[in-house]
């Protein structure tokens, strides 16, 4: 096996050229893992004969796009035929969409995102009168964890040991029934359904193994048990499986990720070759040294010894502030000073542990006149008007979707929750066809005159659009639905700035539909809506503004100048982690934040938070750092603070 190894160091070259079979690449922060993953995928693709291909799996759409672009440069125009690239959810969606009948759905099934799932759960709790003791968020978290471990409602009920757990089990069962009635799956179902397909149809499993002769997985430390189960079934007993990850960057336990997957990889696959990439090419020696000292306190047994031969650079700065408001003002002053010195705003980031910490910082940045972006903020497909349009479009291809009907009908003047409930109740007489029920609203019991006319007009308009769906085309359907449902007219009549923003979002979706129709195959409405649902992460890397984001959202990004605020006990490590005994993951979260910085790293903490005295985070000491005098650009620090520092 040969590879283009120009520019690779010895360890990277070893990882790229390793023979087939199970391969574990332990890639430390800034070690060039994306380059290695790309070269490895290209090398495997060149070696594979016949019609088989390589499957490369990432965790975000942005990472998948970057990998596709790099592979296209290495393999040429035929890259997409030789390497399939996608996220876990995207690949599993394709698999399930190709065989929906085997998991009890139609080819037009809907995908519910996290917000839609919580809405369904909230309705379930209200109907079952469980809303006084359970919240939709709590139940959603429990269901996500259960599905991450492939535990169905019956299995959850069997494990329920308390009254509250039995209530969650009841809500889980009702939620699953609602999904089935609506011909829908949620995000977590895509993984579980793909596992079930491979389990229940050995012939299908053999065909997929033959189709993908080699599998590569990025950020393997973030996989959950369901993802691991799917990979195991896809690869077989002795898989040609390459996994890349870093146990020190395992920070998604709350999403169901299990760091044990990467720690136990060698034990599950005897004969695994392990290659460690420890050289950091991203950061200065001062930053690498501090992060390495912090990481050395991790209890895991597969740490990568991180090192660099880069210049030392500026020392890592640590400073204390009176409270979170003063800390926020100083963060804004720091950003403004960097910009005044000519630093590009896109190379500056302020990182926080919780979203609540961002509020005073946002206020301070606005007062300082510093333009910023909130990474992980609401994306196009999450705006209210777009969700309204998506609900209407969903009904055109899946008229059984109860959640979509509820949202779509709520956009119509004079139609309230009572009328919607009556329509849903009457749909039983139409075999669950909600559009047919709306179009014949005169037969819905106890539906008032004005409401009946509005529901009927809505149902007939969408029924006509659904009838000509195949002939009209995707872009035309989206545009006509905006008009037929009155979404655009009502927003235009409001005339507010918010309404104009919502109208602009609708236009963007219509343009996206036009682009999708030109480029995608097949360009069906069902596939377009699925693509929108799966577009969970929003790539804003070219946005030239100062970045404000949580440490979790910062994973995978990097900046020249990084400031981490709130490094005190109770914030980082967070008080919940201290109570639950998960300080190790908080340490890894701080490590991830520190390794985002290329040239300058500043750590700050408030002596008081919400009026309560705090202590500096233990992670500052573990990194071998101590508070020092404020940097020259920390103007405005008072005399008492300088003395204390």
CB-CB neighbours of 287 under 10 Å? 29
In this predicted structure, what is the pLDDT of residue 133?
Answer: 86
In percent, the amount of the chain with pLDDT more than 70 equals 94
In this predicted structure, what is the pLDDT of residue 464?
Answer: 92
In terms of Cα–Cα distance, which of 331, 347, 350, 337 is closest to 632? 337
Please check whether residue 55 is in contact with residue 221, taking contact to mean a CB–CB distance below 8 angstroms.
no
Q: Which member of 183, 186, 219, 634 is catalytic?
A: 219
144: phi then psi, degrees, rounded to nearest 5: -60, -45
Q: Which member of 218, 222, 228, 585 is catalytic?
A: 218
In this predicted structure, what is the pLDDT of residue 630?
Answer: 41
Q: Is 33 a catalytic residue?
A: yes
In this predicted structure, what is the pLDDT of residue 520?
Answer: 79
In this predicted structure, what is the pLDDT of residue 300?
Answer: 72
CA distance 76 to 269: 33
In this predicted structure, what is the pLDDT of residue 248?
Answer: 95
Q: Which member of 11, 12, 33, 451 is catalytic?
A: 33
In terms of Cα–Cα distance, which of 593, 563, 568 is closest to 578? 568
Q: Is 219 a catalytic residue?
A: yes
Q: Is 596 a catalytic residue?
A: yes
Q: Which member of 5, 17, 34, 167 is catalytic?
A: 34
Residue 111: beta bridge partners? 185
In this predicted structure, what is the pLDDT of residue 639?
Answer: 28
Q: Which member of 84, 87, 221, 249 is catalytic?
A: 249
User: Which tens digits make up the pLDDT trace of 453-502?
Assistant: 989 999 999 999 999 887 888 999 999 999 999 999 999 999 898 999 99
Q: CB under 8 Å to 555, separation ≥6 — which residues? A: 249, 251, 592
Identify the segments of the chain with pLDDT beneath 70. 1-5, 49-50, 237-238, 301, 377-378, 536-543, 627-645
* SS3 state at 341: coil
Q: Is 324 a catalytic residue?
A: no
């Amino acid at each position: 096996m040969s590879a283009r190894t120009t520019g690779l160091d010895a360890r990277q070259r070893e990882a790229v050229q390793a023979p087939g079979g199970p391969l574990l690449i332990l890639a430390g922060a800034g070690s060039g893992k994306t380059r290695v993953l790309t070269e490895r995928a290209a090398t495997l693709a060149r070696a594979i004969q016949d019609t088989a291909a390589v499957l490369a799996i990432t965790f975000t759409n942005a990472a998948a796009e970057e990998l596709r672009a790099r592979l296209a440069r290495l393999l040429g125009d035929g890259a997409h035929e030789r390497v399939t690239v996608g996220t876990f959810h995207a690949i599993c969606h394709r698999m399930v969409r190709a065989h929906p009948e085997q998991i009890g759905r139609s080819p037009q099934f809907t995908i519910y995102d996290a917000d839609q799932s919580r809405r369904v759960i909230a309705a379930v709790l209200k109907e079952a009168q469980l809303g006084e003791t359970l919240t939709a968020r709590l139940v959603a978290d429990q269901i996500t964890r259960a599905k991450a471990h492939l535990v169905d409602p019956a299995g959850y009920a069997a494990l329920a040991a308390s009254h509250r757990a039995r209530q969650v089990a009841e809500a889980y069962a009702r939620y699953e029934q609602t999904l089935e009635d609506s011909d829908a799956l949620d995000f977590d179902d895509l993984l579980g359904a793909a596992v079930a397909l491979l389990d229940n149809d050995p012939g299908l499993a053999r065909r997929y193994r033959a189709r993908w002769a080699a599998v590569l997985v990025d950020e393997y430390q973030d996989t959950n048990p369901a993802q691991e189960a799917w990979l195991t079934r896809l690869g077989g007993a002795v898989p040609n499986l390459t996994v890349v990850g870093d146990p020190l960057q395992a920070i998604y336990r709350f999403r169901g990720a299990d760091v044990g997957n990467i720690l136990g990889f060698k034990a599950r696959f005897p004969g695994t070759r392990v290659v460690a990439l420890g050289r950091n090419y991203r950061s200065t020696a001062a930053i690498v040294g501090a992060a390495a000292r912090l990481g050395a306190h991790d209890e895991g047994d597969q740490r990568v010894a991180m090192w660099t031969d880069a210049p030392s650079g500026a020392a890592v700065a640590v400073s204390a502030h009176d409270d979170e408001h003063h800390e926020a003002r100083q963060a804004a002053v720091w950003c403004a000073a960097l910009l005044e010195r000519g630093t590009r705003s896109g190379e500056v980031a302020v990182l926080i542990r919780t979203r609540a910490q961002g509020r005073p910082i946002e206020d301070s940045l606005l007062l300082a006149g510093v333009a910023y972006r909130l990474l992980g903020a609401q994306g196009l497909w999450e705006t209210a008007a777009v969700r309204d349009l998506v609900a209407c479009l969903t009904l055109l291809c899946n008229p059984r979707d109860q959640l979509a009907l509820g949202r779509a009908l709520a956009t119509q003047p004079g139609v309230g929750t009572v009328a919607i409930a009556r329509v849903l109740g009457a749909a039983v007489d139409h075999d669950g066809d909600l559009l047919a029920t709306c179009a014949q609203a005169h037969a819905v019991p106890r539906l008032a005159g004005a409401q009946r006319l509005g529901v009927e007009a809505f149902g007939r308009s969408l029924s006509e659009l659904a009838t000509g769906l195949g002939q009209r085309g995707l872009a035309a359907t989206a545009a006509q639905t905006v008009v037929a449902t009155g979404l655009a007219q009502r927003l235009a009549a409001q005339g507010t700035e918010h309404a104009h923003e919502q109208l602009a979002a609708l236009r963007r979706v219509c343009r996206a539909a036009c682009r999708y129709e030109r480029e995608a195959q097949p360009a069906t409405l069902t596939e377009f809506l699925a693509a929108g649902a799966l577009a969970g992460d929003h790539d804003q890397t070219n946005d030239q503004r100062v970045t404000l984001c949580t440490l979790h959202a910062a994973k995978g990004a990097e900046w020249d100048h990084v400031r981490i605020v709130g490094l005190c006990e109770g914030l980082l490590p967070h008080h919940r982690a201290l109570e639950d005994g998960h300080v190790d993951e908080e340490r890894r979260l701080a490590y991830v934040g520190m390794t985002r910085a290329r040239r300058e790293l500043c750590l700050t903490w408030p002596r008081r938070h919400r009026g309560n005295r705090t202590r500096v985070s233990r992670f500052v000491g573990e990194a071998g750092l101590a508070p020092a005098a404020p940097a020259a650009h920390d103007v405005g620090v008072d005399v008492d603070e300088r003395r204390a520092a």
